[in-house]
Amino acid sequence: MAGRDGADSAEAFRAEFPVLRSVSYLNAGTDGPIPRRAAEAAVTRVRAELEGGRGGAHHFAGLDELKGALRGRLAPLLGCAPGEVALTRSTTDGVNTVVSGLDLGPDDEVLTTEEEHPGLLAPLAAARRRHGFEVRAVPFAEIADEVGPRTALVACSHVSWVSGRVVDAPALARSGARVLLDGAQGLGAVPVDVGALGCDYYAASGQKWLCGPDGSGALYVRRAHFEALAPSWPSYGSLSDPLLAEELPYRPDAARYDVGVVPGPAGAWSLAALDLFAEHGWDWIHDRAARLATALAGRLAERGIEVAPRGRSTLVSWADPDPEGVVARLAAEGIIVRQLPGRGLVRASVGAWAAEEELERLVALARS
């Protein structure tokens, strides 16, 4: 099925998401729809733990196997080696790991943008209080030009959660500063290749465009930076030899940055969702979602609605004097979007599971 974009392919993909029978789900930028097979995988795993227990070597070996399988699925999606993937609970976990683990101080500047999510801004603010570095926010489109001699780290979105614009990551990489990309609206939504992006760290969510459970995520750390980035959440799983815990013998790969234990049901859910996407083809999924989003933006603009500047992404935001009212009115019509607090914008997150007729209906109802 990979690589074919016809009505049959789209319908087969949509059929994997039961929620689409009742609503037009355009809010994966918050939480993605749940594939049926993912829910079934989680239930099967719960039943196995219910009936078989959670003690002994067999149970913990199974958890390790799940983690290894997740790294193996996520690595090619990120464009890196499995040993460079840490498993987290959110994009913010990854951001916290990086800004807390770097040796930043009063002489340093962290550069960010004016379109960042609180999930990135809060870790920066907390680390600034502890370490005394400066945080400077600049316009999203200008960030690569704003890197200066004091810029020790650039921390910004790969895809803006506000507008859907895509950052010029290669330009940031050429600046010489270390680069942390917030991939909450990137991984699973648009093609990601950390080598081509040139970033040093890439933090992502599992519950959004990967349609995994809440409390799932991943962090890419370039292998060359392992020694310079201290693990922020040392634990049993971080260590190559737990019997020498006081000496902190960290694991030789990015598992040293794992945040907690991946629960069996959640891990099974994540794997099943990733396998669904792989079955249908990531190239097809990325291309279809981007084309649908571009078409939606164009149709809204044709109606005289002000669409926020965007890139080739899956997000479409438009201005409205009453965003909350629009969201409520559309929800009453079975169309699920969200408003962006304090920005006067309504946002649709357009996945490959969307249908053209749903988007036409949204355009017709976007402004009464």
Mean pLDDT, range 140-151, rounded to an integer: 96
Q: Is residue 338 predicted with pLDDT exceeding 90?
A: yes
DSSP calls for 290-304 = HHHHHHHHHHHHHTT
User: Do residues 179 and 159 make contact, with C-beta atoms less than 8 angstroms apart?
Assistant: no
Mean pLDDT, range 309-336, rounded to an integer: 97
CATH T-level topology, domain 7-35+280-365: Aspartate Aminotransferase, domain 1 (3.90.1150)
Mean pLDDT, the chain, whole residue set: 95
Q: Is residue 38 predicted with pLDDT exceeding 70?
A: yes
Q: Is residue 275 predicted with pLDDT exceeding 90?
A: yes
- Cα distance between residue 319 and residue 145, in whole Å: 28
| pLDDT, position 8 | 76
| pLDDT, position 56 | 85
Q: Is residue 3 predicted with pLDDT exceeding 60?
A: no
Q: Is residue 321 predicted with pLDDT exceeding 90?
A: yes
Q: What is the DSSP letter of 260?
A: S
Q: Which residue in this structure is represented by tokens 């946002």?
A: 347
User: Do residues 259 and 86 make contact, with C-beta atoms less than 8 angstroms apart?
Assistant: yes
Identity of residue 327: V
What proportion of the chain, given as a percentage, has pLDDT over 70?
98
Any idea where the domains of the chain sit in the sequence? 7-35+280-365, 45-277
User: Do residues 267 and 328 make contact, with C-beta atoms less than 8 angstroms apart?
Assistant: no
User: Do residues 109 and 124 make contact, with C-beta atoms less than 8 angstroms apart?
Assistant: no
Using left for φ > 0, alpha for ψ between -120 and 50, and beta otherwise, residue 319 falls in beta
Mean pLDDT, range 292-307, rounded to an integer: 97
| pLDDT, position 2 | 40
- Report residue 5's pLDDT band, with 50, 70 and 90 as the boundaries: low
Q: Is residue 4 predicted with pLDDT exceeding 80?
A: no
Higher pLDDT, 268 or 60: 268
Mean pLDDT, range 179-207, rounded to an integer: 98
Q: Which among 248, 231, 229 is positioned nearest to 240, based on CA atoms?
A: 248
CATH T-level topology, domain 45-277: Aspartate Aminotransferase; domain 2 (3.40.640)
Q: How many CA atoms lie within 13 A of 171 on its CB side?
A: 12
162-171 pLDDT, tens digit each: 999 999 999 9
- Cα distance between residue 357 and residue 24, in whole Å: 10
41-93 pLDDT, tens digit each: 999 999 999 999 998 888 989 999 999 999 999 999 999 999 999 999 999 99
Q: Which among 176, 179, 134, 140 is positioned nearest to 160, based on CA atoms?
A: 140
- pTM of the entire predicted model: 0.95
Identity of residue 78: L
| pLDDT, position 55 | 86
